[in-house]
Amino acid sequence: MNASQHFQLFGLLGLAVVMLFPGLDAAKLIDWDENIYAEASRQMVLRDDYLNIVINGHPFAEKPPFFFWLQSLSYHLFGISEFSARLPSATAGLLLTGWLYLVGRRTRSHRFGMLWGLIYLSAALPGIFARSGVIDHTFNLFIALGTFLLFFYEKEFRECGRSSKASHTRNLSWLWLSLASLFMGLAVLTKGPVGGVIPLVAFASFKFLSEARRVPLHHFLYCGMLSLTVACSWYLANWMIYGSKFLAEFIEFQLKLLNQPLEGHTGPFFYHWAMALFGLLPWTALLIIGPFRPSHHDPELVPLLRLGLGWVLFALVLFSFVSTKLPHYSASVYIPLSMWAAAMLDRRLSEKRMFPRRFALLLGVSGMLLAVGFMAFPHIAGKEVLLVDPDFPWEIPDAIYWTGSAMLLLVLTGSVTWGYGRVRTGVVLIVLSMVCWTQGLWRFQVPLGLSFLQGPVLEMVEEAKRKQQAVVLYRYVSFAALRTCTSPWNNGSRPS
């Protein structure tokens, strides 16, 4: 890498820091998931028990522990706060951006890696998920590490017979396979079995379409044994100490996700397909310009694009059959989708071909819809709020309009600039517009929504704390209220 490329890489990582870290504590943790996970991690710290996951004195069997360990570490380093609860996800977002750049540069070029990292980071939903204290972004980091390390293993293994440094290449292939197995095990230990299945299916999809389909049996067994050893280590320790209750309840919860919608999170069969297209905005427009077949791209990218295609199709089909519909369930697909978008853009730049005017139009319209929606949503939500509670003080901050206007100006200028052939300037302007989107949502939109959804109950809990009175919630569940209660925050005992 030359000095210019180093500077661009530092710029990419600096942009990730600006998008992901400032204002992590601008909003309260959101019910239910953020508060559930933050409370489980806090109980680990207060109880000094990192083997058993407990909430309010009861075992929590819905998720394995690795994310809670990361949150607990963050609590130890920075104290128990909203910032600390969300820090592991934001850090995973930074690491994932850097990893996508490294994969792109190693596979194709510095420019392809930069485009991939920029598109993923600035898409509509990945940056939002990376700023939230939920498990999925950390989970997706381990999936990406496992998947692309398997890809590197395959590449080095096939070079063994052709390289003059066969011993070095063989050792490197074993290193990639070992690291891939480790990260697949950590993915399973972070959220569940899908963390190991997605990398294997993605790897199998590109192997099936390649000339060399065979994987040595001892390599396959080594990968399986190492991944299972990492993934099952905590389950085995927990079973030996506490019995089979957690494992039985964990399996029961996974089956519930498949068979019935939890907490009313339902949606049509195509829900995740629609979310995949929406979450990549405004870069979804890049997917329509083609070429769509991997074989029509540069040869060094063909295996990677096939791997990504298998990843996307498997994840979307799998989660389409899951009854519970939540957008972050299928969020790993933004990694291969952003890769495809980067490949489309990189090919056009390499061939020095003009983009069709319809592309610039679609890019501008999609970005404009995001900006207008950013400003209009508080008004739409406010009407619903006032129907429920006419006396609620729903006050839209002026910062929402300023942020939305800046976003609108940047995206329209960027799309027009792009349409006149100044693609690099257009990319920079559109990325800056999405910085406004990500920061604006977390700093202004989310706190406004939570002022209605969680504000009254938290005010009640705070008043009860001041008066040292008990809190009883009737037909209403709030983990934010549980987290705010006096007893667990101060000494780790069970709340009243």
Distance in angstroms (rounded) separating the CA atoms of residues 204 and 306: 10
Structure-token pair, residue 339: 């890769």
**What are the b/e assignments for 326-349, b being 16+ CB within 10 Å?**
bbbbbbbbbbbbbbbbbbbbbbbb
**pLDDT score recorded for residue 419:** 87
Pairing verdict, β 58-59 and 54-55: antiparallel
How many Å apart are CA 423 and CA 416, to the nearest integer? 10
CA separation for the pair 302, 280 (Å, rounded) = 22
Nearest to 486 by CA among 457, 456, 463: 463
Which ranges in 321-454 belong to alpha helices (H)?
334-351, 357-388, 398-419, 423-440, 446-453
Residue 56 confidence class, pLDDT cut points 50, 70, 90: confident
Is the pLDDT at 490 greater than 70? The verdict is: no
Contact 93, 133 (CB under 8 A): no
Question: Hunting for tokens 């957008």 — which residue is that?
Answer: 327
Tokens of 121: 């980071």
Q: Of 5-9, 56-60, 272-276, 280-284, which gets the smallest average pLDDT?
A: 56-60
pLDDT band at 485 (very low <50, low <70, confident <90, very high): low
Contact (Cβ atoms closer than 8 angstroms) between residue 323 and residue 257: yes
Query: For the ranges 59-68, 189-198, 451-460, which has the lowest average pLDDT?
Result: 451-460
pLDDT in tens, 337-359: 999 999 999 988 888 877 888 88
What confidence category does residue 486 fall into, taking pLDDT thresholds of 50, 70 and 90? very low
Closest CA to 367 of 285, 298, 255: 285
Give the C-alpha separation, 400 to 406, whole Å: 10
**Of 314, 290, 313, 294, nearest to 304 (Cα)?**
294
CB atoms within 10 A of CB 254: 15
pLDDT computed for residue 168 by the predictor? 59
Burial environment of residue 368 by CB neighbours within 10 A (0 to 12, 13 to 18, 19 or more): middle
Q: How many CB atoms lie within 10 A of CB 203?
A: 24
Average pLDDT of span 313-329: 89
Contact 387, 409 (CB under 8 A): no
Is pLDDT at 484 greater than 80 in this prediction? no
Distance between CA 305 and CA 308 in Å, rounded?
5
Q: Which residues pair with residue 58 across a beta bridge?
A: 55
pLDDT at 491: 35
Confidence of residue 493 (pLDDT cuts 50, 70, 90): very low
Supply the pLDDT for residue 280: 95
Q: Say how far apart CA 78 and CA 84 lie, in whole Å.
A: 6
Whole-number pLDDT of residue 445: 94
**Tokens of residue 465, six digits:** 């704390």
3-state secondary structure of 54: strand
> Please, what is the average pLDDT of the chain?
87
* 3-class state of residue 291 by DSSP: coil
Over 60: is that where the pLDDT of 496 sits? no
Residue 54 has pLDDT above 60, yes or no: yes
Q: Is the pLDDT higher at 75 or at 290?
A: 75
Query: Over the stretch 98-134, which tens digit does the pLDDT of each residue have?
Result: 999 999 999 999 999 999 999 999 999 999 999 999 9
Could you tell me which residues are beta bridge partners of residue 106?
Answer: none
Single pTM value for the model: 0.92
Residue 471: the pLDDT is 73
Q: Supply 175's token pair.
A: 């290193």
Rounded mean pLDDT, 390-416: 94
Query: Rounded CA gap, 407 and 344, in Å?
Result: 24
Confidence band (pLDDT; 50, 70, 90) for 163? low
For residue 426, name the pLDDT band (cuts at 50, 70, 90): very high
Taking each helix axis from N to C end, the angle separating 66-78 and 33-47, rounded to the nearest 10 degrees, works out to: 70
Side-chain-side CA neighbours of 233 within 13 Å: the count stands at: 14
Q: For 366-394, what is each residue's pLDDT tens digit?
A: 999 999 999 999 999 999 999 989 989 99
CB atoms within 10 A of CB 425: 14
At residue 218's C-alpha, the angle toward residues 212 and 222, to 5°, is 110
- Rounded to whole angstroms, the Cα distance separating 287 from 334 reads 12
Label residue 13 exposed, middle or buried (CB < 10 Å: 0-12, 13-18, 19+): middle
In sequence order, what DSSP letters do the residues of 73-88 get, joined into one string?
Answer: HHHHHH-SSHHHHHHH
How many Å apart are CA 401 and CA 229, to the nearest integer?
52
Selection from 359, 342, 348, 352 nearest residue 105 by Cα = 342
* Under 8 Å between Cβ of 355 and 289: yes
Lowest mean per-residue pLDDT among 155-159, 184-188, 275-279, 326-330: 155-159
Looking at residue 478, what is its pLDDT? Answer: 67
pLDDT above 50 (res 216): yes
Q: What is the pLDDT of residue 482?
A: 67
Peptide bond into 65 cis (omega under 30): no
